[in-house]
Amino acid sequence: MSNRKLGIAIIGLGGAVGTTMVAGIELLKKGLIGKEGLPLAELDAELIKDLADYENIIFGGWDLFAEHLAKAATTHDVLTHKQFVAVEEKLRKIKPWRAVGSKEFLVNITGKNTFSDNSHRAIIKKIRKDLQKFKKSCDEVVVINLASTEKLADEGNEIFNTIADFEKALDANSKEISPAMLYAYAAIAENAPYGNFTPSVATDIPALIEFADKQKVPVAGKDGKTGQTMIKTALAPALKTRALRVEGWYSTNILGNRDGLALSN
């Protein structure tokens, strides 16, 4: 694997997924857990020789809640006691940067660790400054969205048709523009590859696809599908291929952590 240092800037750093991701990498570095569930780890070494080694990954990111990751990890209670003790010191040193709050898109998630600015342009400028500062401690940075799912934006709105339309909407502080889009725009502007692990509307709008193409920045993702969605995605095509008649499909969503709060509106 490559010796370059990779910085991962996480949107929603202090959430259950974000804290567990950071803790997991730190546990891997210590050799305290295996690589089960990591698809890339199963590939031939030659195929992943250009990827950053786990030892060379560092973390930063934004969250609406200001507590350091050790406190966040105890709140979410995903790690075992033994795992937590092993990485507590490292987690305690990582504190989220100020994040984008939104009464329109995240009604029930109202942390106080937010930007004081109200304008889209000012917020984007601060996100970009965070990324610029983070870049100084590593060779390259990627941005991953692990934030709570937002209220779905109207993807058909004409302000999302082209980057020119989107830029005008930014200047006008359009309420149709979501926090996820602001982070994505800032990442692309900073030439930082962007991955969306949530169902929130971000780089899937034509305007940001155009912007990413123009900047030659890789963007990807639309929901991590790690739970029941993954099962549905695998089973549904199989049932269709076999022409099997499905008379009903029942599933539940536990809505753990802050998911229930975010999705209840």
Instruction: Tell me the pLDDT of the chain (265 aa) as tens digits.
Output: 678 899 999 999 999 999 999 999 999 999 999 988 887 877 888 888 888 999 999 999 999 999 999 999 999 999 999 999 999 999 999 999 999 988 888 876 678 899 988 899 999 999 999 999 999 999 999 999 999 889 889 889 999 999 999 999 999 999 999 999 999 999 999 999 999 999 999 999 999 999 999 999 999 988 776 667 777 888 889 988 999 888 888 776 655 566 655 555 5
Write out the chain in H/E/C secondary structure.
Answer: CECCCEEEEEECCCCHHHHHHHHHHHHHHCCCCCCCCCHHHHCCHHHHCCCECHHHEEEEEECCCCCCHHHHHHHHCCCCHHHHHHHHHHHHCCCCECECCCCCCCCCCCCCCECCCCCHHHHHHHHHHHHHHHHCCCCEEEEEECCCCCCCCCCCCHHHCCHHHHHHHHHCCCCCCCHHHHHHHHHHHCCCCEEECCCCCCCCCHHHHHHHHHHCCCEECCCCCCCHHHHHHHHHHHHHHCCCCCCCCCCCCCCCCCHHHHHCC
Whole-prediction pTM: 0.88
Query: CATH number of the domain at 6-220, out of 3.90.75.20, 3.40.50.720, 3.30.70.120, 3.40.50.410?
Result: 3.40.50.720
Enumerate the domain spans of the chain.
6-220, 228-263
